[in-house]
Amino acid sequence: MNKNRLFPGFGLSLGYTCAYLGLIVLIPLGTLIWKSSSLSWREYLDVVTSVRTLAAFRLSFLTAFVSALVNTVFGFLIAWILARYAFPGKRIVDALIDLPFALPTAVAGIALTAIYASTGWIGQHLHKFGIEVAFTPLGIVLALNFIGLPFVVRSVEPVLQELESEVEEAAASLGAGRWEIFRRIIFPAVIPSLIAGFTLAFARGIGEYGSVVFISGNMPMQTEIAPLLIMTKLEQFDYAGATAIALTMLIVSFSLFFMINVLQARSSRRLGMEA
Amino acid sequence: MKTRAESPAVVYTLLALGLSYFAVFMLLPLVVIFVSAFKNGVGPYVAALLNPDARSAIWLTLLVSAVAVPLNLVFGVAASWAITKFDFWGKNLLITLIDLPVSVSPVISGMVFVLLFGAQGLIGPWLAEHHLKLIFAVPGIILATMFVTFPYVAREVIPVMKAQGSDEEEAALTLGASGWQTFWRITLPKIKWGLLYGVILCNARAMGEFGAVSVVSGHIRGRTNTLPLHVEILYNEYDFVGAFAAASVLAFLALVTLVIKTVIESRSPELQSNRLKKH
């Protein structure tokens, strides 16, 4: 490779990259593996299948799943209006969609609690109808809705923008109705990015901590999410228990991200062939 | 555009639905922060921010990002140079490993440092012998922040450097410029927007990280409290004006970040078209 010989600094840049990666990321993550190897299968299963852990896992996965579904619907809708319609304040809306990436999670958490507590701006009205949001699983879903929305919008928006208008125009000139064009041309093209956005939002939701702990109430067995259970075990110096739960979550989120990578590689390969 | 348009009724319904969802779930949380912070007027707001604990939290937050962001910046540039200028075995694995911290829950990101440096940790006993305290102290907070923000600069700069190609650099090197000259005079000016973009995203996350920092901080008031942890403590003590005052500083920083980000995107179109892959 002629390229490799012309450019200087191969050893320096790659060596530094690998050393820094090892020190900051791989050795710390490796410690988790090292720590879990000191657990026997029996101990691991005892922690992971205890009633309290199972309840926390069920809650984390269920709320993350429901909220990722909601975000897939509304994220698609918002990406659609941003990509296709002109309206006043569009630039501001477009910029603020990324707010959850820039706003610290603890700040989002207390803001959402202030809105949905039974004395809050929206919470007091829902309270009259007997709907409680704060300190229930519903509150967790709402917090994750805030956190996860940009993942779906930013996955779908570029696909909608790049969709060839000629194809739609051709379909229209052949007499296809608007709904038929959407159902048979636009929607199939968007599906991979919807799945990617859903998975990103879901994966983020499972591990989310800061925005959830204020609104969730943190009652063991009822509103205790898995990351909070790790936190509790760490505070009680139950490092073995915390490690078992953390390892399980890590395996799940690595699998999800592996899935996203495969998905994105596949769809970009397909787009590459078309171009 | 005309052939792609829906009927006006459909357009307005979709706009109304989408924008109401946006208003309730994005705008309202932002508004409630500032309204709650100024609930009792400007006086208590200013007092809450001038409080010694708040001031030391602000200083610690600035210190943490002043260490973590430049280190991740240097790493990001080195990694981009290695990945885009050379072919080597395991390149895809390296890219995957760089992205790894994004998929780790914040609580676990903090926890691994407790397992490494804590009293019962892998090298905890050795640290104790030498009277080095990393966990429940400032170095632990900085390390956890570096872990969480690790990929932010690299994943912005790699696509930019790749998209711009290496023709100018090749010309400079062939004409006898040294490696460093080529880097400072040609590569750096070419990637400056991508670099700045990565730095502001990295900085926003570094200043705002909560979960990971919460695990390693030990919550020692005036010593190991960053601004987000300060928000939590005040909130749990029912000092809502104080909590929201501190939160409003962070929300303001988030808004500034979004403004800078939007400006950079409008100057550098390739960042805009690339931005999906990066979150």
- Which residue of B6, B22, B201 is in closest CB contact with A78? B22
Per-residue pLDDT for A1 more than 50?
no
Q: A3 lies in a domain? A: no
Shared domain for A30 and A159, answered yes or no, is no
Are B150 and A20 in contact by the 8 Å Cβ rule? The answer is no
The pLDDT of residue B124 is 87
Say how far apart CA B78 and CA B163 lie, in whole Å: 17
Is B87 in contact with A4 (Cβ distance < 8 A)?
yes
Shared domain for A13 and A136, answered yes or no, is no
Say how far apart CA B142 and CA B123 lie, in whole Å: 18
Shared domain for A199 and A213, answered yes or no, is yes
Listed as own residue / partner, the contacts of B21-24 with beta carbons closer than 8 Å and 24 or more positions apart are B21/A74, B21/A77, B21/A78, B22/A78, B22/A93, B22/A96, B22/A97, B24/A122
DSSP assigned state of B257:
H
Helix (H) or strand (E) holding B269: helix B269-274
C-alpha pair distances (Å), B201 with each of A2, A184, B110, B121, B207: 36, 38, 20, 32, 10
Residues A115-169: pLDDT tens digits?
999 888 999 999 889 898 889 999 999 999 999 999 999 999 989 988 877 788 8
pLDDT band at B20 (very low <50, low <70, confident <90, very high): very high
- The Cα of A254 is separated from the nearest Cα of chain B by a number of Å equal to 7
DSSP assigned state of B136:
T
The pLDDT of residue B109 is 96
- B221 phi, psi to nearest 5 deg: -55, 135
Shared domain for A100 and A68, answered yes or no, is yes
- The Cα of B29 is separated from the nearest Cα of chain A by a number of Å equal to 5
Residues B140-178: pLDDT tens digits?
999 999 999 999 999 999 999 998 888 999 999 999 889
- The Cα of A28 is separated from the nearest Cα of chain B by a number of Å equal to 5
The pLDDT of residue A275 is 33
Listed as own residue / partner, the contacts of A45-54 with beta carbons closer than 8 Å and 24 or more positions apart are A47/A240, A47/A241, A47/A244, A47/A245, A48/A244, A48/A245, A48/A248, A51/A221, A52/A220, A52/A221, A52/A224, A52/A229, A53/A226, A53/A229, A53/A245
| For B181, nearest residue in chain A (alpha carbons) | A8
**B residues 223-262 closer than 8 Å to A (CB):** 227-229, 231-232, 235, 240, 243-244, 247, 250-251, 253-255, 257-259, 261-262
Residues B65-102: pLDDT tens digits?
999 999 999 999 999 999 999 999 999 899 999 999 99
The residues near A253 (Cβ < 8 Å, ≥ 6 apart) are A203, A206, A207, B103, B104, B105
The pLDDT of residue A271 is 57
The pLDDT of residue A83 is 92
Distance, C-alpha A114 to centroid of its chain? 23
Say how far apart CA B185 and CA B166 lie, in whole Å: 13
Q: Rounded to 5 degrees, what angle do the CA atoms B203, B136, B114 make? A: 85
C-alpha pair distances (Å), B119 with each of A31, A227, A234, B134, B136: 14, 22, 12, 10, 11
What ipTM does the predicted assembly reach?
0.91
Per-residue pLDDT for A274 more than 50?
no
B5: left (phi over 0), alpha (psi -120 to 50) or beta: beta
Is B18 in contact with A81 (Cβ distance < 8 A)?
yes
How many beta-carbon pairs under 8 angstroms link A with B?
Answer: 298
| For A120, nearest residue in chain B (alpha carbons) | B32
Q: A1 lies in a domain? A: no
Is B250 in contact with A107 (Cβ distance < 8 A)?
yes
Per-residue pLDDT for A263 more than 90?
no
- The answer to whether residue B111 neighbours chain A at the CB level (below 8 Å) is yes
Q: A4 lies in a domain? A: no
Decide which of B219 and B276 is more confident.
B219
Produce one character per residue of B176-204: b if its CB has 16 or more CB atoms within 10 Å, e if not.
Answer: ebebeebbeebbeebbebbbbbbbbbbbb
Residues B178-195: pLDDT tens digits?
999 999 999 999 999 999
Q: Quote the percentage of chain B above a pLDDT of 70.
A: 95
How many domains does chain A contain in total? 2
- Find which of B25, B107, B191, B256 to mutate to test the A interface (most A CBs within 10 Å of its CB): B107
Per-residue pLDDT for A244 more than 90?
yes
Per-residue pLDDT for A88 more than 90?
yes
Q: At what angle do helices B240-267 and B227-236 cross, to 10 degrees?
A: 150
Chain A residues touching B100 at Cβ < 8 A:
25, 29
Amino acid (1-letter code) at residue B265: E
DSSP string for B164-229? H-SHHHHHHHHTT--HHHHIIIIIHHHHHHHHHHHHHHHHHHHHH--HHHHHHH---TTTS--HHH
- Find which of A20, A101, A107 to mutate to test the B interface (most B CBs within 10 Å of its CB): A107
Chain A residues touching B108 at Cβ < 8 A:
32, 207, 227, 230, 246, 249-250
- A121 phi, psi to nearest 5 deg: -55, -50
Is B87 in contact with A227 (Cβ distance < 8 A)?
no
Per-residue pLDDT for B2 more than 60?
no
- Which residue of A77, A84, A242 is in closest CB contact with B17? A77
Amino acid (1-letter code) at residue A95: A
Kindly report the number of other CB atoms within 10 A of residue B13's CB atom.
Answer: 12
Say how far apart CA B33 and CA B18 lie, in whole Å: 23
**What proportions of chain A, in percent to the nearest 5, are helix, strand and coil?**
80, 0, 20
Domain residues for the domain of A264 are 39-274
The pLDDT mean for chain B works out to: 90
Residues A68-77: pLDDT tens digits?
999 999 999 9
Provide the token pair at A36: 């879990």
- Find which of A6, A103, A149, A214 to mutate to test the B interface (most B CBs within 10 Å of its CB): A103
Chain A residues touching B243 at Cβ < 8 A:
110
Shared domain for A30 and A150, answered yes or no, is no
- CATH number for position A82: 1.10.3720.10
- Find which of B103, B114, B120 to mutate to test the A interface (most A CBs within 10 Å of its CB): B103
Kindly report the number of other CB atoms within 10 A of residue B1's CB atom.
Answer: 7
Q: A97 lies in a domain? A: yes
- Any idea where the domains of chain B sit in the sequence? 42-278
Q: The domain at B42-278 falls in which architecture?
A: Orthogonal Bundle (1.10)
pLDDT band at A61 (very low <50, low <70, confident <90, very high): very high
Chain A residues touching B208 at Cβ < 8 A:
102-107
Say how far apart CA A102 and CA B199 lie, in whole Å: 12
Per-residue pLDDT for A5 more than 60?
yes
Per-residue pLDDT for B275 more than 60?
no
Read off the pLDDT of each residue in A175-193 and give the average, rounded to a whole number. Answer: 87
Residues B29-72: pLDDT tens digits?
999 999 999 999 999 999 999 999 999 999 999 999 999 999 99
Shared domain for A17 and A90, answered yes or no, is no
**B residues 121-150 closer than 8 Å to A (CB):** 121-122, 143, 146-147, 150
Shared domain for A19 and A92, answered yes or no, is no
Shared domain for A33 and A87, answered yes or no, is no
Is A98 in contact with B25 (Cβ distance < 8 A)?
no
- The Cα of A6 is separated from the nearest Cα of chain B by a number of Å equal to 7
pLDDT band at A269 (very low <50, low <70, confident <90, very high): low
DSSP string for A173-232? HTT--HHHHIIIIIHHHHHHHHHHHHHHHHHHHHH--HHHHHHH---TTTT--HHHHHHH
- The Cα of A25 is separated from the nearest Cα of chain B by a number of Å equal to 6
Is B208 in contact with A103 (Cβ distance < 8 A)?
yes
Distance, C-alpha B208 to centroid of its chain? 7
Q: Which of A30-44, B163-177, B264-278 has the lowest mean pLDDT?
A: B264-278
pTM assigned to the model: 0.92
Shared domain for A24 and A84, answered yes or no, is no
Are A145 and B25 in contact by the 8 Å Cβ rule? The answer is yes
Shared domain for A21 and A130, answered yes or no, is no
| For A9, nearest residue in chain B (alpha carbons) | B179
Are A227 and B104 in contact by the 8 Å Cβ rule? The answer is no
Shared domain for A22 and A123, answered yes or no, is no
Say how far apart CA A15 and CA A21 lie, in whole Å: 10
Say how far apart CA B172 and CA B184 lie, in whole Å: 12
Shared domain for A140 and A193, answered yes or no, is yes
- The answer to whether residue B6 neighbours chain A at the CB level (below 8 Å) is yes
Is A93 in contact with B257 (Cβ distance < 8 A)?
no
pLDDT band at B274 (very low <50, low <70, confident <90, very high): low
